[in-house]
Amino acid sequence: MRSYPIHHIDAFTSKPFEGNSTVVVFDAQTLSDGEMAKISKEMNLSETVFVLPQSYTGQDADFRLRFFTASGDEVRFCAHGAVGALFALAKAQKFGMDHPGQYQFQVQTNAGIHVMHVDAANQEVPLISYDLPQIELSVAPYDHRELANELGIEIDLLDSERPIMLERTNNHLYFVTPSLKELGSLNIDQKKAKAFAELGRVMLFCALTPHAFDSQNQVHCRSFCPLIGIPEDPFTGSMQGGVAAYLFKQQMVDTRLSMIGSEQGHFLGRPGQVLIEIKKGPQFACKLHARAVMLYSAKLTLP
């Protein structure tokens, strides 16, 4: 029999049953691809993450992460899965994290090697950080009426004074709603939105407003992913760089800020938040800082 430690983590929050959930499977090097797919289907979360040791990286990395969806498909990278994995490893004091301190890891994924940081000064509540991918944000070739029609929503739910923008690194489309009220009223037509997404390979529609439930935050977001079968994501780490870039590009926040608080998930009953650190320089760049919480740990036993 083979046994694997598994940990259910709620990422992008410090409270159970909030943020975005993932399951982390340790010591996954003896699992086949088919077994990883079956485990992910059984967990039935958007992504399950598998941790493999350095000897299975094939590169100059400290360990490897693989991400599988609830349908059993492997994806290149998953932000909440990565945060969940680093949090679970820190809590289990893996890879040398056996005392309070600052740690840095080269983490191999199918999207390349990512430098990720764990601030374990307080080992009970480690903070996970990593640089977000390069942002390539430009005005999208759609007007507001066209987008409203394609998403099946009223034109009044869009802020026509703010451009629709496309982030080309991840193919994320960003648009603004006037307030939290309009943002909460969004109910996109999933069938129409998927057809529209297929035409432009739009992986995610991000609706945002420069208002927040928490006065410490600067923005609230919602994300819709009909192309990959996710009607709405509780919290999406991969789109946060584009959110920050949009806010700065459109001068919707004080551009002297070095940190932006971004929140998401409140309209789904799973509130979460992150801090986005803005790196000053000739090209826009930022770093994500996230918390997580352990919901439970168990052991998976297979023949």
Half-sphere exposure of 124 (CA within 13 A, CB side): 0
Residue 22 has pLDDT above 80, yes or no: yes
pLDDT of residue 283: 86
Within this chain, do residues 84 and 158 fall inside the same structural domain, yes or no? no
Residue 265 falls in which region: left (phi positive, over 0), alpha (psi -120 to 50) or beta: left
pLDDT of residue 60: 86
Q: What is the pLDDT of residues 134-178, one digit of tens each?
A: 888 999 999 999 999 999 999 999 999 999 999 988 899 999 999
Within this chain, do residues 27 and 43 fall inside the same structural domain, yes or no? yes
pLDDT of residue 57: 85
Q: What is the pLDDT of residues 210-248, one digit of tens each?
A: 999 999 999 999 999 999 889 999 999 999 999 999 999
Within this chain, do residues 127 and 253 fall inside the same structural domain, yes or no? no
Could you tell me the pLDDT band of residue 86, with boundaries at 50, 70 and 90? very high
Q: What is the pLDDT of residues 188-205, one digit of tens each?
A: 999 999 999 999 999 999
Within this chain, do residues 149 and 272 fall inside the same structural domain, yes or no? yes
Angle at 106 between CA 100 and CA 95, to 5 degrees: 40
The CATH number covering residue 16 comes to 3.10.310.10
Q: What is d(CA 241, CA 237) in angstroms, rounded to the nearest whole number? A: 8
Return the structure tokens found at 127: 């903070």
Within this chain, do residues 166 and 129 fall inside the same structural domain, yes or no? no
Burial class (CB in 10 A: 0-12, 13-18, 19+), 196: buried
Phi first, then psi: what are they for 8, rounded to 5°?
-90, 120
Within this chain, do residues 115 and 165 fall inside the same structural domain, yes or no? no
Range of the domain at 267: 137-282
Q: What is d(CA 125, CA 130) in angstroms, rounded to the nearest whole number? A: 17
Position 267, amino acid: F
pLDDT of residue 250: 95
DSSP result, 220-258: EEEEEEGGGTEEEES--GGGHHHHHHHHHHTT-S-TT-S
pLDDT of residue 206: 98
In the chain, what percentage of residues exceed pLDDT 90? 91
The mean pLDDT of the chain is 96
Q: Contact 230/181 with Cβ under 8 angstroms?
A: no
Within this chain, do residues 120 and 257 fall inside the same structural domain, yes or no? no
Residue 281 has pLDDT above 90, yes or no: no
Average pLDDT over residues 128-137: 92
Could you tell me the pLDDT band of residue 133, with boundaries at 50, 70 and 90? confident
pLDDT of residue 58: 78
Within this chain, do residues 142 and 270 fall inside the same structural domain, yes or no? yes
Within this chain, do residues 129 and 142 fall inside the same structural domain, yes or no? no
Within this chain, do residues 145 and 100 fall inside the same structural domain, yes or no? no
Within this chain, do residues 9 and 95 fall inside the same structural domain, yes or no? yes
Closest residue by Cα to residue 91 from 259, 256, 292: 292
Q: What is d(CA 49, CA 40) in angstroms, rounded to the nearest whole number? A: 8
pLDDT of residue 228: 87
Within this chain, do residues 72 and 183 fall inside the same structural domain, yes or no? no
Domains in the chain, number: 2
Residue 59 has pLDDT above 80, yes or no: no
Residue 30 CA to chain centroid, in angstroms? Answer: 27
Return the structure tokens found at 163: 């451009």
Beta bridge partners of 65: 51
